Amino acid sequence: MRAGRGADEGPGGPLRVTEACADLLTGAACLGCARPGRLLCHDCRAALPVHPVPAVLDPTPPGLAPTWAAAAYDGVVRDLVVHHKERRRLSLRPPLADLLTRAVRAAAPGRDAVLLVAVPSRRAVVRARGHDPLGTLVALAARRLRRQGVPARPFRLLAPHGAVADQAGLDAAARAANLAGSMWCPGARRLPASAAGSRLVVCDDVVTTGATLAEAQRALAAVGLPVTGHAVVAATLRRHPPPAPARPDRPDRLPWVGRAY
């Protein structure tokens, strides 16, 4: 029995039945509509965005290659990412891989060869999670692209370098400073000659400020590998706080302090 379109795929071959049917066995409900059964029902999967958009980063890191997001990091897409990454719900790999594939195609349109480079995860993090969520999605996206006639392959070019503090709660400038020099490119020496001329797309699950993608691009450029574009499953929505009134007592006045003007 096929559990759904593409749902029986894994990076190294068919998923085991236990994985494909885990949603049913665990009494899951759809993350989109709460219908009992699969973690993402057929209708909610069909309703996922199909047109990637350029990620709006404000400010955009200087020199950042075009960045495409398959969806906004909100609602059901956010739930898909979190449940897959943090709760190891492997049945969510196919819809997430579909989203990443679309973003890669937007970042590197056409049918020339593409190398997909995942933003690196620390080994301790992968161990703690019990899987490599992004690495798996990148491998699946490459497979989908090949089916679509695009010569694509995943390649682990990047590795973490040094310690990085938790990014949570940092603003764009602090994230950039925290990440500066945090990646390097040990995989460049292993690149086969056949990869020459390939376009290079950096892949991540979520973009927030673009600092991680910028650091990946810097590390690749440092070994002579220019990045064509970045592709992410989802882009964090910017929620600007409502502007504060100029002066609570005189909202028509500019917020200068000191003498009245």
Which parts of this chain interact with Zn ion (CB under 5 A)?
A: 30, 32-33, 35, 41, 44
The amino acid at residue 131 is H
| Integer CA distances (angstroms), 36 to 24, 26, 92, in order | 8, 10, 16
Toward Zn ion, which CB reaches closer, 48 or 225?
Answer: 48
Placement of tokens 């219908």 in the chain: 35
Helix (H) or strand (E) holding 10: strand 9-10
Q: How far is the CB of 7 from Zn ion (least distance, A)?
A: 14
Q: How far is the CB of 252 from Zn ion (least distance, A)?
A: 49
Toward Zn ion, which CB reaches closer, 75 or 251?
Answer: 75
Residue 211: alpha-carbon gap to chain centroid: 13
Toward Zn ion, which CB reaches closer, 71 or 152?
Answer: 71
Tokens of 106: 């937007």
Q: How far is the CB of 33 from Zn ion (least distance, A)?
A: 3
Cα(48)–Cα(255) distance, integer angstroms? 44
Q: Give me the numbers of helices (H) and strands (E) for the chain, helices first please.
A: 9, 10
Secondary structure of residue 244 in the 3-state scheme:
coil
Q: How far is the CB of 40 from Zn ion (least distance, A)?
A: 6
Please, which residues bridge with residue 199 across strands?
A: 114
| Residue 169 DSSP label | T
Q: How far is the CB of 29 from Zn ion (least distance, A)?
A: 8
Q: How far is the CB of 178 from Zn ion (least distance, A)?
A: 37
Helix residue ranges, H only, 7-64? 17-20, 22-25, 42-46
Q: How far is the CB of 37 from Zn ion (least distance, A)?
A: 9
| Integer CA distances (angstroms), 84 to 25, 30, 92, 184, in order | 17, 13, 6, 27
Toward Zn ion, which CB reaches closer, 35 or 129?
Answer: 35
Toward Zn ion, which CB reaches closer, 42 or 131?
Answer: 42
Toward Zn ion, which CB reaches closer, 33 or 165?
Answer: 33
Toward Zn ion, which CB reaches closer, 81 or 138?
Answer: 81
